[in-house]
Amino acid sequence: MPWDPISDYDPAWPSQFETAARSLREALGHAATRIDHIGSTSVPGLAAKPIIDLQISVPDLAAIDDYRPAIETCGFAWRPDNPDLTKRYFRELPGRSRTHVHVRQAGSFAEQAALLFRDYLRAYPLAAQEYAAVKRDHAYLLASDRSAYVEAKAPFTWRVLQEAHLWAQQTGWRPGPADF
């Protein structure tokens, strides 16, 4: 059987998020306006790489000294080499559960897009199933070229974001309360 980095949905993923988010909320206090479970592990039933993605929204992304020390005390290392300028990126320390922390400006397009994508996939399980198929079709790239994997998923991702945008307009979607 070939190597498959994509796992079937694990009902333990929400509690893994809650454990990490609780620790981060206590450490960050008011430095974070919200903490949310994003990414594929946040969508019930969706197959995913078994990595918990958390989004921390902050009032000022540039004020890294306001939040970086608190995140680091919770067992995450800042990755200053991350090329995505819409976020600050942290990873778990060695030996800890796979968790990626995405810090984004509260109210920014990047923050809202992550929440909209998640909420749309939660509302439309058939879209989530299609996403799982796309990920599995391209999973072989994860072993050799992670960037190619992300690029291979891009047409699906952009199409779903367009559908989600229309859905948001039709339903009046707004981000619900923060997960933490």
To the question of pTM greater than 0.85 for the whole model, the response is: yes
Does the pLDDT of residue 2 top 80, yes or no? no
Of the CA atoms within 13 Å of residue 158, those in its CB half-sphere come to 6
pLDDT in tens, 124-173: 999 999 999 999 999 999 989 989 999 999 999 999 999 999 999 999 99
Residue among 154, 175, 129 at smallest CA distance from 33: 175
Does the pLDDT of residue 115 top 50, yes or no? yes
pLDDT in tens, 169-180: 999 999 999 999
Residue among 173, 40, 147, 38 at smallest CA distance from 103: 38
- Give the pLDDT of residue 92: 98
- Give the pLDDT of residue 89: 98
- Give the pLDDT of residue 57: 98
Tokens at residue 11, please?
Answer: 């009902």
Q: How far apart are CA 143 and CA 146, in angstroms?
A: 7
Span 90-100, mean pLDDT? 96
- Give the pLDDT of residue 1: 42
Residue matched to tokens 């890294």: 64
Q: Tell me: domain 13-171, CATH 3.40.640.10, correct?
A: no
pLDDT in tens, 33-74: 999 999 999 999 999 999 999 999 999 999 999 999 999 999
Confidence of residue 88 (pLDDT cuts 50, 70, 90): very high
Q: How far apart are CA 132 and CA 45, in angstroms?
A: 10
Containing 129, the helix (H) or strand (E) segment is: helix 125-138
Span 66-95, mean pLDDT? 97
Confidence of residue 21 (pLDDT cuts 50, 70, 90): very high
Which phi and psi angles does 14 have, rounded to 5°? -60, -40
140 in Cβ contact with 92 (< 8 Å): no
- Give the pLDDT of residue 5: 92
Domain ranges in the chain are 13-171
- Give the pLDDT of residue 125: 98
Tell me the sheet residues that pair with 35.
56
Tokens at residue 48, please?
Answer: 């995913």
Dihedral angle of Cα 75, 81, 83, 85, to the nearest 10 degrees: 70
Does the pLDDT of residue 4 top 80, yes or no? no
